[in-house]
């Protein structure tokens, strides 16, 4: 904002030139009019020590416009001038100049179109010069104040983005960098946050030379509050009881019960409802023991493409004190694949609502793909349902693929 406009913000609405001396830099007004008399009239009737009036044609405006205010003359009988004004308004709406229309009996529809395009005001072309100058000063000051607010908001948003990027990197560091190798099979996983950080999380870790532990979990909601629970769960999940030089693996049903008690005892302000499946896989026997806490049921895909839903139940974590969780055991056959997912994976329809049946169709269509390709096919279906928009929920997939039976000699 020029020194003149800053002065007018503190001066009275009347004639200020008799109260204070003129500023060093007058207010600059660019008048765009194809009728020279419009700019000439404004220039002749305004005090040049306060206002400098420059002129150019509407159809050939300067490429670089530097002015406190741009006044565009739009005669009511010239539709081309109206079109040019709309283009200019859209071009200058985010710039520092106040964009003002000088019109002669412009109809209501035209005024609404100009306001929508970015004009701040539509003033009569024969407005009293002193009153016109005061109105322009007021609009310039408002534009300047708005510009400062927008600049501060953009800076705040930039800093917030930086912080969220850092939070995302930190959360990704909690995920396993490398999944354990498994004799006769392999684990694979995917996590796609809906925002910078996720309320979904997973882990795959070796418990001893025979057993691998794995879990997938989903804090209700997503974003920062849900993401903070990932740290809590990772640190609170108990997988072993160690006494001296010996240890005992804690069964999944007991591990979920202990975690549930820890969540409730923490007395967090926001009730952290969490769904989860925790399993222990014995790579020598191919036996998997698991327990489920309100999470979507795991699936087993057979080597011929058959899809089976595993049972076992239990309430969400963080809801009921003393909750119990049903243990289940499953011995996998060569070529089987175990698939765990969060409910964000169920949003594979164009309306992005959760649809478990639609997800099963996607999985059946991809059931014979290698495990990495299978997970990518599910993610592609979820992304395809967004229509280019961001995900409606976090999506996490964890899978265990066993080698197919050896071919007969």
Cα 89 to Cα 30: distance, rounded to the nearest angstrom: 14
Could you report the per-residue pLDDT of 85-140, keeping only the tens digit for each? 888 888 777 777 777 777 767 788 888 888 888 887 787 777 676 677 677 777 76
Could you report the per-residue pLDDT of 3-19, keeping only the tens digit for each? 444 434 444 344 444 44
Looking up tokens 């591990």 gives 255
Instruction: Give the per-residue SS3 of 70-116.
Output: EEEEECCCCHHHHHHHHHHHHHHCCCCCEEEEEECCCCHHHHHHHHH
More confident residue, 156 or 64: 156
Q: Looking at residue 269, what is its pLDDT? A: 63
Residue 27's pLDDT band (cuts 50, 70, 90): confident
More confident residue, 268 or 7: 268
The overall pTM is greater than 0.75: no
- Number of Cβ atoms within 10 Å of the Cβ of 264: 18
Q: Which residues of 95-125 are buried (b: 16+ CB within 10 A; e: fewer)?
A: eebbbbbbbeebeeebbebbeebbbbbbbeb
- Domains of the chain and CATH, by start: 3-151 (3.40.50.2300), 175-402 (3.60.40.10)
The radius of gyration of the chain's CA atoms, rounded to the nearest angstrom, is 34
Residues 6+ apart with CB under 8 A from 262: 236
Pairing type for strands 327-331 and 287-293 reads antiparallel
For residue 221, pLDDT over 70 is answered with: no
DSSP reduced 3-state for 12: coil
Residue 392's pLDDT band (cuts 50, 70, 90): confident
Q: Looking at residue 287, what is its pLDDT? A: 97
388 torsion bin: left (phi>0), alpha (psi -120 to 50), beta (else): left
Looking up tokens 């019109």 gives 103
CB distance 143 to 67 below 8 Å? no
Residues 6+ apart with CB under 8 A from 397: 189, 190, 191, 339, 340, 341, 342, 345, 375, 378, 379
Could you report the per-residue pLDDT of 68-84, keeping only the tens digit for each? 778 888 887 777 878 88
Nearest residue to 216 via CA among 341, 401, 323: 341
Main-chain phi, psi angles of 224, to 5 degrees: -60, -50
């Amino acid at each position: 904002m020029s020194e003149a406009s800053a002065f007018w913000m503190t001066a009275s609405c009347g004639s200020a030139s008799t109260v204070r001396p003129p500023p060093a830099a007058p207010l600059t007004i660019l008048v765009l009019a194809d009728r020279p008399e419009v700019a000439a009239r404004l220039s002749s009737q305004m005090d040049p020590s306060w206002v400098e009036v420059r002129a150019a044609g509407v159809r050939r405006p300067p490429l670089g416009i530097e002015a406190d205010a741009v006044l565009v003359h739009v005669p009511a009988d010239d539709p081309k001038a109206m079109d040019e004004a709309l283009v200019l308004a859209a071009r200058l709406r985010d710039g520092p100049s106040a964009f003002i229309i000088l019109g002669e009996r412009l109809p209501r529809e035209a005024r609404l179109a100009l306001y929508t395009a970015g004009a701040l005001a539509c003033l009569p072309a024969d407005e009293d010069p002193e009153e016109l100058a005061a109105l322009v000063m007021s609009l310039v000051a408002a534009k300047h104040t708005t510009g400062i607010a927008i600049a501060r908001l953009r800076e705040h948003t930039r800093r917030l983005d930086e912080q969220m990027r850092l939070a995302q990197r930190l959360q990704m560091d909690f995920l396993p960098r490398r999944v354990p190798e498994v004799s006769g099979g392999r684990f694979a996983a995917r996590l796609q946050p809906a925002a910078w950080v996720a309320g979904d999380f997973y882990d795959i870790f070796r418990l001893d030379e025979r057993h691998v532990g794995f879990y997938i979990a989903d804090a209700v909601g997503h974003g920062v509050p849900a993401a903070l629970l990932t740290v809590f769960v990772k640190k609170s999940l108990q997988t072993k009881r160690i006494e001296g030089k010996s240890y005992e693996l804690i069964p999944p049903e007991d591990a979920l019960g202990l975690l549930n008690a820890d969540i409730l005892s923490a007395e967090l302000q926001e009730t952290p409802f969490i769904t989860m499946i925790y399993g222990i896989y014995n790579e020598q026997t191919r036996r998997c023991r698991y327990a489920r806490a309100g999470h979507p049921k795991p699936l087993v895909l057979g080597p011929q493409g058959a899809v089976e839903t595993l049972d076992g139940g239990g309430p969400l974590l963080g809801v009921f004190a003393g909750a119990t969780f049903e243990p289940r055991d499953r011995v996998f056959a060569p070529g089987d694949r175990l698939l765990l997912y969060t409910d964000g994976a169920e949003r594979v329809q164009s309306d992005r609502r959760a649809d478990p049946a639609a997800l099963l169709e996607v999985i059946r269509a991809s059931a014979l793909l290698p495990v990495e390709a299978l997970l990518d096919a599910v993610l592609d279906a979820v992304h395809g349902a967004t229509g280019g928009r961001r995900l409606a929920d976090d999506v996490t997939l964890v899978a265990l693929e066993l080698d197919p039976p050896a071919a007969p000699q």
